Structure formats: structure tokens, C-alpha cells
Amino acid sequence: MPFFVDTSALFKRYQVEAGTAKINELLENARGDLFISSLTIIEVISNLKRLFEIDHLTTEEHFREQRLFFYHDIENLGVTALDITAEDIIRADELILKRYMKPVDAVQLAVAINNFSDRPTFVSADQKLCDIAKSEGIPVINPAA
């Protein structure tokens, strides 16, 4: 069964918080069936950088280690990054017209919907986004719940 993991859930792997143990277990047991959008890559790096540079919660060395760990995971856990297409943007627009959501969330959900013939399990730590995914008929896992 494929899992599409959005940034809010994946980030828990690199910053310990509620849901970290659950996301670690899912990532380590779902080898080859893990998908993210290409947008997730830059979102994770940006969030890690924010912890260091803006929030001062980590050091520059820790940021570099987390970043390397993230790229190591992509390679070694069999994570597939799906490129964002024009069709994804159109679907994101349709999702926003149905129910307000942040543009990035709409793109994440659109990529999950458009890239699979059978709906993947959508993994997100954003409960509102999980609720919207459910309304689209997509099974969800919220590691923070």
C-alpha cells in the first residue's frame, strides 16, 4: 500500500515532537511505498533552517546533520519524490474551490490524488488537511493524533 507523506508528518522524523515515534515506524516499515511531492524537499529544508536561523532551537551543525539525514532517508528508505505538474495545480485550484485550504496543502493533496490509480494513504500531522483528504475519499494517518 503506498503512503503519500506530507511535510507536516515527515518533519517529525527530523524534529522530535508528538508523532515522531509513529512516523519513524511508518517510514522504516514502508520501504519502497513512500512518496512525497518535490515541494516537500524544499519545505523540510526550509523548516530545518528556520529552527536554526530564526528560532535558535538548533545549531548550524545540527541543521547540517538533519539535512544530511533527510537526504539519506530519501535514498535509503526508497522515497519517491513526485514532481508537481500543471494538472496538480489545476486539481489544487479545484480543492480550494470546494473548501478553503492553504495553497501548499492543496498542492500536496493534489499530488497525492493525481499520481495514483488507487488512493494512497495520506500521512499528515495537519488535522484539517487530514479531514479534507478524508472528504476526498482518501485514507489518512495522522501520526500526531
Binned at pLDDT 50, 70 and 90, residue 33 comes out as: very high
pLDDT at 74 over 90: yes
Please, what are the domains in the chain?
Answer: 3-141 (3.40.50.1010)
Could you give the CA distance from residue 119 to residue 87 in angstroms, rounded to a whole number? Answer: 17
Nearest by Cα to 45 from 4, 14, 85: 14
pLDDT of residue 1: 84
How does 29-44 read in b/e, with b if 16+ C-beta sit within 10 Å? ebeeebbbbebbbebb
Q: For residue range 87-99, what is the model confidence (pLDDT) as tens digits? A: 999 999 999 999 9
Rounded Cα distance between 41 and 52, Å, is 17
Whether residue 32 has pLDDT greater than 90: no
Q: Rounded to whole angstroms, how far apart are CA atoms 130 and 144?
A: 11
Judged against a pLDDT cut of 90, whether residue 137 lies above it is answered with yes
Report H helices in the chain. 7-10, 20-29, 38-53, 60-76, 86-98, 103-114, 127-135
The one-letter amino acid at 67: R
pLDDT in tens, 35-70: 999 999 999 999 999 999 999 999 999 999 999 999
Here the cell at position 127 is 488535522
pLDDT band at 118 (very low <50, low <70, confident <90, very high): confident
When pLDDT is averaged across residues 19-24 and rounded to a whole number, the result is 95
Quote the pLDDT of residue 95: 98
Q: What's the confidence (pLDDT) of residue 31? A: 73
